[in-house]
Amino acid sequence: MGELVYHIPAMLTPTIEGLRIHPDGVYVDVTLGGGGHSKAIYSHLSSNGRLFSFDQDWDAYANQLAIAADGNSLSLANQGNWQFVHGNFRHLKNFLRYYKVDGIDGLLADLGVSFHHFDEAERGFSFRYSSPLDMRMNQRGGKTAADIVNNYSEEELARVLYLYGELKNSRRIAHNIVHTRSTYPLTRTEDLVAIMTGQRPSKPLLEGDEIVVDSRIKKDLARMFQALRIEVNDEMGALETMLNAALQMLKPQGRIVILTYHSLEDRIVKNFLRSGNCEGKIEKDFYGNILTPFRVIEKGRIADEEEVAVNPRARSAKLRVAERI
């Protein structure tokens, strides 16, 4: 795991500013990943402060352990007031209750997957390498991308591809998937690439082999893989549940900071921070005053060009910040 960069945190400075960290406070980073954001949060805490970092992927914790084993005393794994939580952030409230935390001063969610997921060929997140169609962030269970492409109806597949991948030709792709799987099961990343190109590799690929893809279809392939990944991990369902839990756990003046990477998740977060519900239904009191649990601080800030030049993933990031009233 050591040599590759696990992840480069997006919009680090505005994220930390958005949290407005109190050194003695209790903070939650629900998406540890490579730990860049968690480390920065931790560096603002006193020995009385606490940081809980969630990740449903054990690799994120293993990475911190590896950094500590390399003799780096600054690894989060060496810090007494840091707690890793191996679980889905949809269970935020239960986990915090388990740790006897009844209120938090700030929460960060940097949504989606990390570079690590794309770099680890065998996880199946990338169309660049031959691998089984997995795409689960939590490898302990749940359905895989292969389960979805082989079992969903054509209608369901079209919905997933359209909603989560914003693919305009989602119906045609869904039709191709259903047609192809009647001949052979779709089990590998190259099978999905073949759906988009209409061509199978000239010879069987070995695990981790590079898949040669015409640059003109890379964008659509990226959208297809993104759509399946979101469905595999029920990313929208987890986000909605976590936001509702965060609302209940945040103390007055506590900050919530969310980094989103595509329009659907961004709409959910935008609605939630504006209204306190994912649908964005604005409630008013008897006098017509808007009732909202948050004061919005940052309304979808984007990364500057300098950052995008070194970290292209930051191009699609949107930062939203709100304060619990």
Single out the segment in contact with ligand SAM by CB under 6 A; choices: 55-63, 121-129, 208-216, 301-309: 55-63
d(CA 158, CA 48) in angstroms, rounded, equals 51
174 binds ligand SAM, rule: CB under 6 A: no
Tokens of 305: 């060009």
Minimum CB distance to ligand SAM, residue 155 (Å) = 26
Site string for ligand SAM, 70-109 (x = CB under 6 A): ------------------xxx-------------------
Q: Does 18 bind ligand SAM (CB under 6 A)?
A: no
Asked if residue 105 lies in contact with residue 49, where contact means CB atoms within 8 angstroms, the answer is: no
How far CA 103 is from CA of 22, 92, 291, in Å, comes to 14, 12, 22
Q: Write the interaction track for ligand SAM spanning residues 127-166; mark x where CB under 6 A is met and - where it is not.
A: ----------x-----------------------------
Q: Does 63 interact with ligand SAM (rule: CB under 6 A)?
A: no
Question: Rounded to whole angstroms, how far apart are CA atoms 304 and 114?
Answer: 20
324 beta partners: 294
Cα 190 to the center of its chain, rounded Å: 24
Q: Strands 250-260 and 104-110: what pairing?
A: parallel
Which range of residues in 50-58, 75-83, 127-135, 209-217 is near ligand SAM by CB under 6 A? 50-58
Q: With binding defined as CB under 6 A, does residue 54 bind ligand SAM?
A: yes
Total count of residues recorded for the chain: 325
Question: Which one of 7, 123, 229, 318 is in contact with ligand SAM (CB under 6 A)?
Answer: 7
CB of 58 to ligand SAM, least distance (A): 9
Do 121 and 129 meet the contact criterion of CB atoms below 8 Å apart? yes
Residue with structure tokens 């003695």? Answer: 24
Q: By the criterion CB under 6 A, which residues form the site for ligand SAM?
A: 7, 9, 31, 33-37, 54-57, 60, 88-90, 110, 112-114, 137, 238
